Amino acid sequence: MTEDQSSQQPYPQGYPPQYEDEINLIDLLRVLWKWKWLIIGGTVICAIIAAVISLQMPRIYEISTVIEPGIAGVKNDGSFMLIDSVANINGKIDGGIYNRKVEKALQLDPLKTKVEFKSAVVKKTSLINISSQWEEGNTNLGVKAFRQIMDLISGDYSRIVEQRKGDYDKQIFMKQNDINKLGAQRTSLKETLANIKQRIAKLKKEVLNVKNNTEDLMKQRDILLKKDKTGVEMPLLLYSTTVQQNISYFNEINDQIYEFEEKKEAVQWKNKNIEKDINAIEAEITALNASKGLISNIKIIQEPEVSRYPVKPKKKQIVLLAGVVALFMFIFLAFFIEYIKNATRSTKQTK
Output the domain CATH number for residue 283: 1.10.287
Give the pLDDT confidence score for residue 153 in this predicted structure.
Answer: 93
159 plus 194 within the same structural domain: no
Higher pLDDT, 255 or 217: 255
151 plus 231 within the same structural domain: no
159 plus 302 within the same structural domain: yes
Give the pLDDT confidence score for residue 220 in this predicted structure.
Answer: 76
Closest C-alpha among 223, 221, 226 to residue 240:
221
Over residues 25-55, the pLDDT tens digits come to 788 888 888 888 988 998 899 989 988 888 8
Which of 83-92, 103-112, 229-238, 282-291 is least confident? Answer: 229-238
Determine the 3-state secondary structure of 117 from DSSP.
Answer: coil
- Percent of the chain beyond pLDDT 70? 89
Which of 51-60, 115-124, 140-149 is least confident? Answer: 51-60
287 plus 253 within the same structural domain: yes
CA 226 from chain centre, in angstroms, equals 99
Distance of alpha carbon 230 from alpha carbon 228, whole angstroms? 6
Which of 166-170, 227-231, 301-305, 314-318 is least confident? Answer: 227-231
Name the strand (E) or helix (H) holding 72. strand 71-74
Residues paired with 71 in a beta bridge: 82
The answer, yes or no, to whether residue 160 has pLDDT greater than 70, is yes
284 plus 324 within the same structural domain: no
The answer, yes or no, to whether residue 12 has pLDDT greater than 60, is no
Give the pLDDT confidence score for residue 4 in this predicted structure.
Answer: 44
174 plus 94 within the same structural domain: no
Helix axes 17-34, 36-56, angle to 10 degrees: 60
284 plus 321 within the same structural domain: no
- Residues contacting 55, CB < 8 A, separation 6+: 315
Question: Rounded to the nearest 5°, which phi and psi values hold at 258?
Answer: -60, -45
User: How does residue 307 score in pLDDT terms, banded at 50, 70 and 90?
Assistant: very high
Give the pLDDT confidence score for residue 168 in this predicted structure.
Answer: 92
Sign (positive or negative) of CA dihedral 290, 293, 298, 303: negative
CA 346 from chain centre, in angstroms, equals 79
127 plus 270 within the same structural domain: no
216 plus 329 within the same structural domain: no
Which of 25-39, 138-152, 322-336 is least confident? Answer: 25-39
Give the pLDDT confidence score for residue 306 in this predicted structure.
Answer: 93
Helix axes 17-34, 315-350, angle to 10 degrees: 110
Give the pLDDT confidence score for residue 1 in this predicted structure.
Answer: 39
130: domain CATH number? 3.30.70
User: How does residue 154 score in pLDDT terms, banded at 50, 70 and 90?
Assistant: very high
Give the pLDDT confidence score for residue 228 in this predicted structure.
Answer: 55
The residue range of the domain holding 140 is 60-163+298-306
The answer, yes or no, to whether residue 262 has pLDDT greater than 80, is yes
Domain count within the chain: 3
The answer, yes or no, to whether residue 119 has pLDDT greater than 70, is yes
184 plus 198 within the same structural domain: yes
66 plus 143 within the same structural domain: yes
Give the pLDDT confidence score for residue 13 in this predicted structure.
Answer: 47
Give the pLDDT confidence score for residue 279 in this predicted structure.
Answer: 95
Distance of alpha carbon 221 from alpha carbon 89, whole angstroms? 101
The number of residues in the chain equals 351
CA 162 from chain centre, in angstroms, equals 16
Give the pLDDT confidence score for residue 11 in this predicted structure.
Answer: 45
Is cis: bond before 110, omega within 30 of 0?
no
Closest C-alpha among 17, 62, 16, 36 to residue 333:
36
- Residues contacting 80, CB < 8 A, separation 6+: 71, 73, 74, 294
User: How does residue 241 score in pLDDT terms, banded at 50, 70 and 90?
Assistant: confident
Count Cβ atoms below 10 Å from residue 329 Cβ, excluding itself: 14
| 207-221 average pLDDT score | 82
Give the pLDDT confidence score for residue 118 in this predicted structure.
Answer: 94
Task: Assess contact for 59 and 136: CB atoms under 8 A.
Answer: yes
183 plus 281 within the same structural domain: yes
The answer, yes or no, to whether residue 292 has pLDDT greater than 80, is yes
Determine the 3-state secondary structure of 126 from DSSP.
Answer: coil
